[in-house]
Structure 1
Amino acid sequence: MPLRRSSHTPAPATETIYAPQFLATTMGMFILVFLVAFESMAVTTVMPMVSELLNGERYFALAFAAPIASGMLGMVAAGEVTDRWGPKHPLFISVAIFCVGLLICGSAANMQMLIGGRILQGIGGGAITVAIYVLIARAYPGHLHSKIFALFATAWVLPAMIGPWLAGLMAVHLGWRWVFSGVAVLVLVAFCAMIPVLKSLDSERNHDLGKVSVKRLALAGLTGLAVICMNLLGNSNSRWSLAGLALALVVALLAIRPLLPRGTFLVRRGLPATIMTRIFITGAFFGVEVYLPYLLREDYFLAPDRAGLILTASALCWSMGSWLQGKLGEKIESSTCITLGAVAGSVAIATALATAIYHPPVFVLVCGWAVGGFGMGLIFPRQNVNMLSLSAKEEQGFNSSAMTVADSLGNAGATAIGGVIFAMAAAGTGFISVFAFSLVLILILIAISPRTKGTPAPSEG
């Protein structure tokens, strides 16, 4: 059975993502996504130690903001290239850039060198995600898309559970440099499993699309710079910082508009609405989650390890929700999954808001946020599935990059705005104000989620 097929070609009901013709691709992508996720979690754990040892405390925030910004450039570049030449060559290049960035970080003599490596990591990591989305569209039939994205959810949940602990062990017993260098070696090993599959893909060249758009690459870079500014200015309530944040947000929105499907900000039915829901869900959910450990420490006096259990419970339920939507497959529409996930997210955020106001037992917040994690497991994979089903073959790269760019913008934008709201709130109302803002975002998402239903793109041939 050939690897390349239309995303809408009927297939035997017994066919799975672990069938012999898919097994190497499935496991290679799973390990690759797992390692990218692990590196993200691990860096959060070791960066305080790294910045201290390299005398770069003043660059601490930039070390996190830089790969987010450069990731946007990688996403857009990969989208441009995959639409013209397919996912084969972009995957080779993006993995190479990601590994070079890791090795530079692992051998960094100062913080400036480490940030340079982090920039390359961001470019490579962003491009890897987009290229993998397109590979899924080209290598798997449509009825398996929900299942492969469910597997990817597990690839992110496992690092969330063990990544910080394992990174701490590596830093203590092997040295922090191995957190970067060791992952680079493992990424290369995992990628080797995918090489035979990539070689089997036909070489493609879409002459109708012309050359890669330099304008889009420039706009992606500008959006990334605006995101860096939002991250750096987002926790201040000074007049100049607020003005700078507002300007950065406006620049980001103007620059990102051509990088998204036409009609995204108008929430047009189908693909544009699907991309818009990604902006709202990442902004609403992660805009609250970043403050939950802080809330538990300040109002419940919990130690960091116990406060972190709420995130672990949410991650486990995220995996369960993702598994369920994959199990249901085409029995439930993607738009329905997106709506149900948004409703579950609203329950979680409302619970967080009620906790900030009334201070019920911690168990209430744990349960509420677990419901939100379950909802995220429903909504995230189905946004990706819906995006691919509504994309013509020559638009799969562009639309995949749009989805990942929207993800970054929603996360960074809401976190920055939330930081300002928290800083400006009256004494004792910071958490309430931030959570209320996120609740508004999730309610808007519920209202627009039915508009994600659209007509699938015609199959090939």
Structure 2
Amino acid sequence: MTASGDGIGESGGVKDPAPVRTTAPLSDLPVPVPAPARAAGSAGRPRSESVLGRGYLALTLGIVSVVFLIAFEATAVGTAMPVAADELDGVSVYAFAFSALFTTSLLGMVVSGQWSDRSGPLPPLAWGIGSFAAGLVLSGTAATMGIFVAGRAVQGIGGGLVIVALYVTVSRAYPEQLRPTVLACFAAAWVVPAVVGPLIAGSVTQHLGWRWVFLGLPLLVAVPLAVMLPAVRRAASGPPPGDPAPDAADRPGQGPAGRTRLKFAVALAAGAGLLQYAGQELTLLAVLPAVAGAALLVPAALRLLPHGTYRAARGLPAVVLLRGIAAGGFVVAESFVPLMLVSQRGLSVTMAGLALAAGGATWALGSFTQSRQRLGPYRERLARGGMVLVTAGVAYTPAALAESVPVWTLAVAMAVGCYGMGLVISSTSVLLLQLSAPEEAGKNSAALQMSDSLSNVVLLAVTGAAFALCGGGSVSVGAAGSGSGSAGAAAAEGRPLAFVAVYAIAALVCALGVAVAGRLGERT
């Protein structure tokens, strides 16, 4: 499961992933709402006691179906990708099929944030779902690897538009008391795809061909469109209430503020792409794209993320930073587990993958735990406790290098870490919406998702370089979350120090997150 358990996968792992995530039935998630409570943009609607009550049923099912579709794509296409690359004679550019989706999704996130703050979440949501489906069709009908990668890029734009628009929809359509439950539904929607997605994709690839893995998914788009868009139109369409912020007053990409943010978004995507390329090469020739990528990415990130993010300023900046720390640190750990078990413990790829199998359920369970209304006042403690569990799980992982340590203990450690991630990821989402004015929900939601994605690529590049320098061989950053546990196994064999280096970095990053989690509340 990726860190983006409530969103887009394939960036390496929230989840989210990559990449990727049983909890109690959603109908068992009642959250009482005081009568005076009103969600922005839905005044006058009857308040129901549950996200599955009459007033929210269509909207909730629509949102969950969209997340389910994205999760299924993220977990399924990785199985078909090697076959597609081989048939299209594109193995040499295989990693670009992943990085193209990631880099364009960053651009889509920024555009969606502006668009949602200006016109409401409905336009970017509709265009995002359409673009996502169009990208799948383009890749599924591709005659060359270039067209296939282009389809992945279109798909990434759609995914970036959708995930931010979904956050704004939650902010606008649901009262504050129901938001933790809705976000828990995001994580729950990943559980079934995480379990059956690769199996279904493998069967379809074997019997019908890899193209149908891509072409079959757009057929499911009609369901969320028909169910959700009318409900979004009723509950969350139009400009936000209150005076628009300066950034939100401009149409996406138009006006001084809009054009400036769009330029920084392009620079951010280009810089991330160059860093991914440098991380894949790991040669002296990769220094130039690495420097160029950092020169583009760092200034753009500083302008697009909330002021004070990288010094963990209290409140919103610390929330955004914690999301990146948690996602990046855990995705690094999760991505190297199959490779470590295959090369160091002699497990098959299938058995190595099973070490992560329980993570989907415990991630959803952690997200469910934070949705309990009685725990609402302890949101910051939940996030900090979650980071402690994540750090413990990551720090224990290299112990499995020792033959005397049973592999099942590693599976338990990763399950504990996933439970902590469920607490942290959902809690940061809830806190972000609490700390965001209605007219800035889009911009801030985009910042949260960018922090998640950027930390993945940066930390995977750093740990990939450390892995290579310690004799582990080259690891493709772009395909780190593709589930290819055997990649580089021969090079890594007999090099346990390389894995120790990776997990030392990941554990230190997660430990930093424990400290940052103490700064989530605004100073009183």
Alpha carbons of 1:128 and 1:4: their partners in 2 closer, same or farther (altered >3 Å)? farther
The residue correspondences of 1:45-124 to structure 2 (distance < 5 A) are 45-124=79-158
Mind listing any 5+ residue stretches in structure 2 that lack a counterpart?
Answer: 1-34, 253-257, 472-494
1:230 maps to which residue?
275
Contact 1:133-1:400 within 8 A present in 2 as well: yes
Aligned partners of 2:305 and 2:120: how far apart in 1? Answer: 20
CA distance in 2 between partners of 1:391 and 1:115 (Å): 36
1:230 counterpart SS class: helix
Distance 1:59 1:3 in 2: 52
Q: SS in structure 2 opposite 1:360?
A: coil
Structure 1 unmatched runs, 5+: 457-461
1:218 aligns with 2:218: no
Distance 1:13 1:434 in 2: 49
Contact 1:7 1:137 in 2 (8 A): no
Of 433-442 and 422-431, more deviation after overlay is shown by: 422-431
Is 1:8–1:142's contact at 8 Å kept on the other side of the alignment? Answer: no
Q: Please tell me whether residue 181 in structure 1 is matched to residue 215 in structure 2.
A: yes
How far the C-alpha of 1:319 sits from its partner, in A, is: 1.3
2:239 matched to which residue of 1?
Answer: 204
C-alpha separation in 2, matches of 1:371 and 1:186: 33
Residue in structure 1 matched with residue 49 of structure 2 by the alignment: 15
Percentage of identical aligned residues: 34
2:104 is aligned with 1:36? no
Q: What is the aligned residue count? A: 455
For residues 370-402 of structure 1, the C-alpha deviation after alignment (integer angstroms, 9 at most, x for no partner) is 110110111111110000000001110000000
Higher helix share: 1
Deviation by residue 1:253-280 (Cα, 9 ceiling, x = unmatched)? 2211111111111211000000000111
SS in 2 for 1:365: helix
Distance 2:353 2:275 in 1: 26
1:360 aligns with 2:405: yes
Equivalent in the alignment of 1:436: 504
Match of 2:160 in 1: 126
TM-score relative to the length of structure 1:
0.93
Whether the 8 Å CA contact 1:357–1:432 is kept in 2: the answer is no
Q: Relative to structure 2, which stretch is displaced further, 419-428 or 300-309? A: 419-428
List structure 1 segments (4+ residues) > 6 angstroms apart after TM superposition.
Answer: 1-4, 11-14
Please state how far the C-alpha of 1:198 moved relative to its aligned partner: 2.3
User: How far is the alpha carbon of 1:335 from its aligned partner?
Assistant: 1.3
Residue type matched to 1:37 in 2? A
For structure 1, which segment, 28-37 or 194-203, has the greater mean C-alpha deviation from structure 2 after superposition?
194-203
Name which of 295, 300, 304 aligns with 1:255.
300
Q: Displacement of 1:67 after TM fit?
A: 0.5
CA separation of 1:170 and 1:440: change in aligned 2, threshold 3 A: same
Return 204-213 or 404-413, whichever deviates more. Answer: 204-213
Aligned partner of 1:191 in structure 2 is: 225
Quote the Cα distance in structure 2 between the aligned partners of 1:337 and 1:13.
27
- 2 CA distance for matches of 1:414 and 1:357? 25
Distance 1:277 1:23, change over 3 A: same
Structure 2 partner of 1:241: 286
Query: What's the offset of the Cα at 1:169?
Result: 1.4
Tell me if the contact between 1:349 and 1:372 (Cα under 8 Å) persists in the aligned partners: yes
- Do 1:345 and 1:373's aligned partners in 2 also have CA atoms closer than 8 Å? yes
Task: Output the CA distance in 1 between the equivalents of 2:69 and 2:178.
Answer: 23
Match of 1:459 in 2: none
Give the whole-Å Cα distance in 1 for the aligned partners of 2:286 and 2:342: 27
Distance in 2 (CA, whole Å) between partners of 1:133 and 1:56 is 36
One-letter amino acid of the structure 2 residue matched with residue 248 of structure 1: G
Alpha-carbon offset, residue 417 of structure 1: 0.8
For 1:287, the equivalent position in structure 2 comes to 332
From 354, 359, 384, the equivalent of 1:309 is 354
Secondary structure at the counterpart of residue 21 of structure 1: coil
**Are residue 403 (structure 1) and residue 448 (structure 2) matched?**
yes
* Counterpart position of 2:205: 171
CA contact (8 A) 2:184 2:371 kept: yes
- Residues 143 and 329, structure 1, Cα contact 8 Å, conserved in 2: no
Counterpart of 1:160 (choices 177, 180, 194) is: 194
